[in-house]
Structure 1
Amino acid sequence: MKIYVPQDAAARALGSDAVAAAIGRAAAERGIAVEIVRNGTRGMIWLEPMIEIETPNGRIAYGPMTVADVPALFDAGVHPKELGLTEEIPFFKSQTRLTFARVGVIDPLSLEDYRAHGGIVGLENARKMTRDQRLDEVSASGLRGRGGAGFPAGIKWKTVALAPADRRYIVCNADEGDSGTFADRMLMEGDPFTLIEGMAIAGLSVGASMGYVYIRSEYPDAIRIMSAAVEIARTQGILGKDFNMEIRVGAGAYVCGEETSLLNSLEGKRGVVRAKPPLPAIEGFMGRPTVVNNVLTLASIPWIFANGAQAYADFGIGRSRGTMPLQLAGNIKFGGLYETAFGTSLGEIVETIGGGTASGGKVKAIQVGGPLGAYFTPQQYDTPFGYEEFAGKDGLIGHAGIVVFDESADMPQLARFAMEFCAVESCGKCTPCRIGAVRGVETIDRMLAGDPEAEELLLDLCHTMKHGSLCALGGFTPYPVLSALTHFPQEFSPLKEAAE
């Protein structure tokens, strides 16, 4: 009897370790031989801990499980927490899982499982190609960076490959610090070999023999699993011959999610922003040409090389090709990870896929792209999920974190938080970010106190930060403030509203 119990950090936080131990005890008491596999999560967080029992007809899901629910698993009859076949659960069944196809399915540290589910095929195909063919494959797929501004991966790789240098590097940005994002963590904990394979293909494509995964210190489970997976891959010959890699741990600075700050930290320096140019693709880690991509970008590569660039490009809309792992969080009924092709409308994501608010109230605002992303409203539900489509409405997709708020949300305080967050996390390199965020908090407070001059000052300040900051931290901080002001102006003038 094989039972899958997630060891994903979210599942563990909800009690999966205790459930796994209870299953072991209950089986021993009954003399039943049980193999417990600690897999990743399927991404349906509201059902965690969700366990699966392997049957001739497929894996049957049960959840959310508690220790008290365990004994009934071994009794006759239908278990009260039975959910049916995992693959038939509506939230899961309607997805298009390419990058996350194996997450929650396999034992994360079993290279045999990984191979059995299509792993290493992409790397084997890449080794049969020339350098130019590999670079063209990435460009033809339409893959763009799954974070930030969505820069085309093919252009970045080609720049690094053609830059004259004695050494080149691959750096994976796993410093996933945006609120409402957890896809990087899920993938590293549930399918680490996908990231390793993607980095190996990248190294082969640009002529890099060394790679680094920079993981935030707040992800101990991801660090543990990725470290173990790298050792297994090295032992099994996946790493070490023409490409090797190491795991490096960050120290908790949000700004190190910005690529040049990350590179400074990786080199043992203070994590502050570097001025551009030169770009990291020309002078990156240790002054050498460096591909800096995040986890989801590099983890998309194995599928592209296994199935072909055109098959990947067939998904999506406009210049947004392939799939995007959406992370649904905040006040939402069905919170978790949902992978689908670009082009799904914001309304369908929130109301149909996410099920609306968990509180049952009306949706008031949706923040997309982390704490520095703009607030959208239900009046913008028709916006297709795509890079240009969101940019056209003064928003950004970023890492695809989607945080939902109901009518109880205090929008001025949320906008103030964005400014305060920037003030705390600024590396201090540039004046608009270092000083602007502090003045921004003060100016919002003046608005809420009824100062008639504060709004114009805040708008000028936001413009200065947006166009004067060296990195995304200061440059994007105005987005939530401006969008909150645009959609909810009355909430910023309570004294004026009371007088009227």
Structure 2
Amino acid sequence: AYICGEETGLIESLEGKRGHPRQKPPFPAVQGLYGCPTVVNNVETLANLPHIFNRGVDWYRSIGSNAKNTGPKLYCVSGHVNKPAVVERELGVPLLELIDMCGGVRNGHKLKGVIPGGSSVPILRAEECDVRMDFDSLAAKGTLLGSCGMMVIDETACMVRLALRTARFYAEETCGQCTQCREGTWWMEQVLHRIEHGQGKMSDLQMILDMCSNMKGVTICVLSDACAMPVEAMLYKYREEFEYHITQKRCMARE
């Protein structure tokens, strides 16, 4: 289950329980698997260690865009590119360079946006994509590096449908412990489904923004935030498409 990507949810699952994230503290390093101190790391982090031990910290720090963003990184480039791929480059490689390395936007279409760090982070509009793929540069643009799972979106994509699919994914993957996540993701999917099918109202847009505000920073884990942040950004940055769906009962991207 997706929720078991959260470290305490993973520990619960390993103990034979439902993968429900735990309240923290205590943190896993103090009380983790079967009550013992436990370190949980991403496999990519562990894969870096032999190289650092063999070549030294200075070598590792020499790779990257600046002194605060160092080391190699795996970028999973998917979506509307001609050659989706996992690319290993330095932390801080230009985003547009990664798209070029994957053959550019498919079928000669125009770039519409990029989700730089997996489905849980805010989207960048095409004009915001001249940015380096590191923590600080993306934070300055109001988004996150996240898992480095880049999702490239071309001009044919419907942002309302993308928002709906995002909400639907998190509604299906929530563990249901926290009210704001369990109810918020479900209701967000319902409202977006209504808009996508030409049955929405203008007041639905403010309702979505209110739900996003009420879902962030109030739950045991960040799955609720992971649903709210991308949907909120899609609505703010492509609001005209949502309004068109409501007023014209059809998709602007298909015109």
**Normalization by structure 2: what TM-score?**
0.90
User: Against the structure 1 CA distance between its residues 354 and 331, is the aligned structure 2 distance closer, same or farther, given a 3 Å change threshold?
Assistant: same
- Provide the secondary structure at the position in 2 that maps to 1:370: coil
Asked if the contact 1:368–1:400 (Cα under 8 Å) also holds between the matched residues in 2, the reply is yes
Asked if the contact 1:329–1:401 (Cα under 8 Å) also holds between the matched residues in 2, the reply is yes
Matched, 1:335 2:81: no
Shift of 1:354: 2.2
Shift of 1:349: 1.8
Q: 1:426 is matched with which residue?
A: 174
- Provide the secondary structure at the position in 1 that maps to 2:105: coil
Gaps in structure 1 of 5+ consecutive residues: 1-252
Alignment match of 2:189 (pick from 441, 449, 455): 441
Q: 2:56 is matched with which residue?
A: 308
Aligned equivalents of 2:67 and 2:204: distance in 1? 40
Aligned equivalents of 2:244 and 2:23: distance in 1? 41
Q: 2:90 is aligned with what amino acid?
A: A
Q: 1:265 is matched with which residue?
A: 13
- Provide the secondary structure at the position in 2 that maps to 1:326: strand
Asked if the contact 1:394–1:479 (Cα under 8 Å) also holds between the matched residues in 2, the reply is no
Asked if the contact 1:450–1:494 (Cα under 8 Å) also holds between the matched residues in 2, the reply is no
Asked if the contact 1:347–1:378 (Cα under 8 Å) also holds between the matched residues in 2, the reply is no
Shift of 1:274: 0.5
Q: 1:456 is aligned with what amino acid?
A: Q
Q: 1:255 is matched with which residue?
A: 3
Asked if the contact 1:416–1:441 (Cα under 8 Å) also holds between the matched residues in 2, the reply is yes
Aligned equivalents of 2:236 and 2:155: distance in 1? 17
Shift of 1:259: 0.7
Moved more, 441-450 or 423-432: 441-450
Aligned equivalents of 2:3 and 2:74: distance in 1? 23
Q: 2:73 is matched with which residue?
A: 324
Asked if the contact 1:328–1:335 (Cα under 8 Å) also holds between the matched residues in 2, the reply is yes
Aligned equivalents of 2:67 and 2:231: distance in 1? 29
Asked if the contact 1:368–1:402 (Cα under 8 Å) also holds between the matched residues in 2, the reply is yes
Asked if the contact 1:430–1:470 (Cα under 8 Å) also holds between the matched residues in 2, the reply is yes
Shift of 1:392: 2.9
Asked if the contact 1:356–1:363 (Cα under 8 Å) also holds between the matched residues in 2, the reply is no
- Provide the secondary structure at the position in 1 that maps to 2:156: coil
Asked if the contact 1:346–1:380 (Cα under 8 Å) also holds between the matched residues in 2, the reply is no
Q: 1:321 is aligned with what amino acid?
A: T
Aligned equivalents of 1:467 and 1:457: distance in 2? 18
Q: 1:289 is matched with which residue?
A: 37
Q: 2:106 is aligned with what amino acid?
A: A
User: Against the structure 1 CA distance between its residues 340 and 487, is the aligned structure 2 distance closer, same or farther, given a 3 Å change threshold?
Assistant: same
Q: 2:226 is matched with which residue?
A: 476
Asked if the contact 1:490–1:497 (Cα under 8 Å) also holds between the matched residues in 2, the reply is no
Q: 2:212 is aligned with what amino acid?
A: C
Asked if the contact 2:15–2:34 (Cα under 8 Å) also holds between the matched residues in 1, the reply is yes
Moved more, 402-411 or 316-325: 316-325
Q: 1:475 is aligned with what amino acid?
A: D
Aligned equivalents of 2:194 and 2:80: distance in 1? 29
Asked if the contact 2:30–2:36 (Cα under 8 Å) also holds between the matched residues in 1, the reply is yes
Alignment match of 1:370 (pick from 118, 132, 139): 118
Q: 1:347 is aligned with what amino acid?
A: L
Alignment match of 1:299 (pick from 18, 28, 47): 47
- Provide the secondary structure at the position in 1 that maps to 2:74: strand
Asked if the contact 2:3–2:9 (Cα under 8 Å) also holds between the matched residues in 1, the reply is yes
- Provide the secondary structure at the position in 2 that maps to 1:291: coil
Aligned equivalents of 1:262 and 1:394: distance in 2? 29
Gaps in structure 2 of 5+ consecutive residues: 250-255
Shift of 1:451: 1.2
- Provide the secondary structure at the position in 2 that maps to 1:366: strand
Q: 1:232 is matched with which residue?
A: none
Q: Deviations over 1:264-287 (max 9, x none)?
A: 001111111111111112111111
State the structure with more CA Rg: 1
CA-atom RMSD in angstroms: 1.8
- Provide the secondary structure at the position in 1 that maps to 2:19: coil
Percent identity, please. 36
Shift of 1:321: 1.4
Q: 1:467 is matched with which residue?
A: 217
Aligned residue pairs, count: 246
Matched, 1:455 2:202: no
**Normalization by structure 1: what TM-score?**
0.47
User: Against the structure 1 CA distance between its residues 390 and 495, is the aligned structure 2 distance closer, same or farther, given a 3 Å change threshold?
Assistant: closer
Q: Deviations over 1:15-54 (max 9, x none)?
A: xxxxxxxxxxxxxxxxxxxxxxxxxxxxxxxxxxxxxxxx
